[in-house]
Amino acid sequence: MRVIVHVDLDCFYAQVEQRRLGLDGDVDAVAVQQWSNLIAVNYVARRHGVKRGMPAHEAQKLCPGLRCVHVETIGEGGVVVEDPTPPAPGATRDPMVKASLRRYRGASREVFAALAAHCDLVERASIDEAFLDVTAQSAALLKEAQAAAAAAGRSAGHGDGVGEVHSNDGREEEGTGGHEDGAGVAGASGDAPDPDGEGVAAGQQQHQCKPKDYRRELDFRTQRHSQVVDAEHDATATELSQSQEAAAAAAPELTESARLLLAGGVVVDRIRRAVREATGFTVSAGIAANRVVAKLASARNKPNKQTIVPLSLQSAMMRSIPFREVRGFGGKYGSALEAALSAKDGDGGGADVVTRRVRNGWHDPKAADDAPPLTCGDLLDVFGGTDGTKRFAQRCSIPLDAATAVMRSVAGEGMDEVKPNLKPKSLSACKSAYLGDAAMVRRCMAVLAEELVERMAEDELLWRRRATTLVVHHRGALKKDHLSKWKAGKTSELTRDRNRQCRMPLGAEATVEASNSQGETARKTVRVPTPGQIVETAEGMLRKLASSGGLPVLPCTRIALCATDLQDLETGSASLTSFFQAQPKGSVNSSGGGTSLRSPQRKRPKRKRGTLEGFFGGAAKKPAPTTEVVGEAHTTIEDAKAEIPRAEGEGQGAGPLAGSFGAAVTEEPAPAPASPQRNEMWGGDEETDIRSAEREGDGVGDGHGEEVEEGQGQDNVIAPSELEDKDRQGQGVYVLVVEDEPPDPVVDSTDAEVEPEPEAAGAPAQAPAEATATTSLDGGMKACPRCGQEMPAEELPEHEDWHVAMDLQERFHPGSSGSARRAPGGLSGIQPRQWSKQRAPQSKIQSFFKR
DNA sequence: ATTTTGACGCT
DNA sequence: AGCGTCAAA
């Protein structure tokens, strides 16, 4: 059996704001607001009835003391507002200002760093959720505790220890008094076809709830099926932990699995403390034998509590859970299943389902509103077994294997492993707003692109990987004359989400320098597209959308830019190779575009000092000559692209064809293209289309930064923006320098990796620095020059990257990660992994700062 | 006027 | 490749 943990930050965004603003989550009512609505609510506010999704002004009425904190915003020109004044209710929002969750992503990284420091098997499930596999630690702890118990000559004897364990939580008294300690007894409760899961105690089959009380009743019962540990950092908790450990070791009536889970509870309690110590955030957790149960358990007792579900109680707990609460069944699929199953006229079990629900407290099956939730137990009772599963499949018209999977899930038997991963798999920036014309779309996309580029740079610094695909999402909008032009039933077509993807423009090198308050400087090179390149490429995708599907692109209500297919920039060459192979041919040529990834050949940039815009906004005024290596690579790609058959379709060569295709697909009202040549009109309506750069046959490409002439005199052509002006300068190296940075020639020791500066382009330059780092694979521990931290030598480069990334983050967003609070040196509060000397070699993926 | 994210499965 | 669904703050 494994010990699986689901970790869940309590009202995460609210906690982040509490920490930032010095609010007390136990006293102050706090909510996080995005435009007019609340997206996170702390527990004090919840007690006043404030709920997620609620309009802020309503919440204020419920809870006059409520502190609503608006999320950060980003506007045109990359203007970040850290504490925006929330818009007045009913006010029109600026379509060029987007909400940004950057602050929470940063906090999330802190949390995951802390988790990873204490557990090798951490899987990121969302910005604030993780699955952990703590089997090994739990087993070790158990063994230790048992050895200690044996040494102490303590003969087991008493089961009281277990009782102590859950006597902690006052609400538990009822649940703990009875049989629950008898984890061993649970077989009985598990087997009983008893929806209550009351188990052994006198046949409680007929345990009846009063109408409307079922929900509470379920909660109550669920608590009885688990053990709750309060993680307040007080003596009680410590005692608790010890008694739990002792109980795990000593209680003879516990099965081995129960002991192991109890030990897991101790491990998790420690991890939660560590997270709180490192970040200040409280965490809830569920501990069970598999992910499904752990996830349900973590939600059982919040905030700041952990819930253990012993194997012996697992089945009973699952039975009591409304099946819509099981992951995957909360949406349409779940409700469809529930509806199919509950139709009482049906055969094959429907009547039984209704019967079950009546027993659950449904007094009037006609009053659908009053229906108690269908529990997993109901499903198991009616559709359990091979036979039942077949009926289930038939009744719901789903394949048998799907039905089998459902039944497994509701039985709490999901055995999926925890797959270690700390990194997001894609980066996206989106904005919902009514965008009526092409100029608006363009400006909005520029804002999105700025953010995306910043995050791509950050991602490369943190994880050494690079996005190779750009996806543009689009949601249409209704316009008045559309209502007349489109059939009523078809209007939803107009608001459909659609998307197109293409290769991410390769972009230019950007050298990032950062220094901390001690005057230490570090430098890294990343390669990200410019915002302008992204915008151009994205516009190509919108044209592609316009020319297929027969739907207008304008107006629209939502645009998203998404960077996906993040490829590792691996030194090992396997993934590096594949990265280049994934590039259009020509980029792996002698120009050195390839090797420059790792060991950039560049001269000292002539740089424009200082500004943030200098880094993220675009190129330096004057590209240094050597940067043309990059420029070459870029050009090469363009050339190569020209040779490639138009796999991407409508973009270029397929234009005319696509145009006619679009026209053919277009339903009745779509106007035929005005001219045989490519006529990708965004709006489908003449007055709103965009035709920039269409005149030449190649104007409609998929972007990739081609230097398209602007302002062709078309009425709706967008004037070049500043952004473009900068981009136009192309492939410069841009540098962020801090004020007191030493003069150019200074070479830092921390800088070794990018510093060697081999002048020869295309030199095999297999990163000398890297080599030195990796040659010492067996060289044991090394100390970081920045912080003195000891670690395996091969981890050093990665660790230094981390410093750079943190410096950068601090530079751009001072105090964003709470550094002031915990890291007086000025570095971010995110701490690198703590290395212990005896640490066993770890697989790469498990190491947090390893990509 | 629920927005902004992210993952994954189906075809 | 593109679409749809699910989920979380």
Q: What is the mean pLDDT of each run of 10 residues along chain A (851 residues)?
A: 96 97 97 97 97 96 97 96 93 94 97 97 97 96 82 50 30 29 25 28 29 35 48 38 55 74 90 95 95 93 89 86 92 89 67 73 69 87 90 88 91 89 97 95 97 94 94 88 61 85 90 71 87 96 91 94 92 38 27 22 23 24 18 22 26 24 24 34 44 32 34 25 26 20 24 27 27 35 70 66 60 44 28 28 22 22
- Within 437-456 of chain A, which residues have Cβ less than 7 Å from strand B? 451
**Does A430 contact strand B, using a CB cutoff of 7 Å?**
yes
H or E segment and range at residue A572 = none
Assign A133 to helix, strand or coil. Answer: strand
Query: How many angstroms separate the CA atoms of A380 and A408, rounded?
Result: 10
Closest residue to C2 (CA, C1′): A499
CA angle A680, A683, A688 (to 5 degrees): 105
For residue A172, give the amino acid letter: E
In the block, residue with structure tokens 């089959």: A205
A57 touches strand C (CB under 7 A): no
d(CA A847, CA A802): 13
pLDDT of res. A89: 87
How far is Cα A340 from Cα A348, in angstroms, rounded to an integer? 11
Q: Of A672, A832, A598, give the one whose Cα is nearest residue A823.
A: A832
Quote the tokens at residue A808: 């950068």
Helix (H) or strand (E) run with residue A356 in it: helix A350-359
Find and list the nucleotides of strand B having atoms within 7 Å of a protein beta carbon: 1-8
* Closest amino acid to nucleotide C3 (CA–C1'): A498
Tell me the domain boundaries of chain A. 4-110, 134-320, 324-410, 427-508+523-730, 767-846
Helix axes A135-151, A256-279, angle to 10 degrees: 110
Q: Which nucleotide C1' is nearest A87 CA? A: B1
* Cβ of residue A842 lies below 7 Å from strand B: no
Q: Is the C-beta atom of A579 closer than 7 angstroms to strand C?
A: no
- Tell me what pLDDT residue A716 has: 24
According to CATH, what is the number of the domain A4-110? 3.40.1170.60
Q: Which nucleotide is nearest to A73 (CA to C1')?
A: B4
Cis bond upstream, residue A303 (ω within 30): yes
Using the structure, give the distance in angstroms from the CA atom of A331 to the C1' atom of C4, rounded to a whole number: 12
Three-class secondary structure of residue A128 per DSSP: coil
Q: Is the CB of A426 under 7 A from strand C?
A: no
pLDDT of residue A142: 86
CA pair distance A787, A771, nearest whole angstrom: 22
| CB-CB contact of A129 with A144 (8 Å) | no
Q: For strand B, list residues 42-71 of chain A whose Cβ lies within 7 Å of it.
A: 53
- Alpha-carbon distance of A772 to A757, in angstroms, equals 15
Q: Is the CB of A503 under 7 A from strand C?
A: no
Does the CB of A428 fall within 7 Å of any strand B atom?
yes
**Of residues A244, A256, A265, the one with CA closest to residue A308:** A265
Q: How far is the CA of A302 from the C1' of B5 (A)?
A: 24
- So what's the pLDDT on residue A810? 53
pLDDT of residue A428: 98
Describe the crossing of helices A376-383 and A311-320 by its angle, rounded to 10 degrees: 90
Q: Which nucleotides of C are covered by protein (CB under 7 A)?
A: 1-9
CA distance A410 to A378: 10
Considering only CA atoms, which residue is closest to the C1' of nucleotide B6? Answer: A126
The amino acid that residue A557 corresponds to is T
Look at residue A394 in the predicted model and tell me its pLDDT.
Answer: 86
Q: Which CATH number fits domain A427-508+523-730: 2.60.120.10, 3.30.1490.100, 3.40.30.10, 1.10.150.570?
A: 3.30.1490.100
| A299 CA – B7 C1', rounded, Å | 20
A337 touches strand C (CB under 7 A): no
- Longest distance between any two alpha carbons in chain A, whole Å: 94
Residue A433's pLDDT is 96
CA of A433 to C1' of B6 (A): 20
> pTM value?
0.70
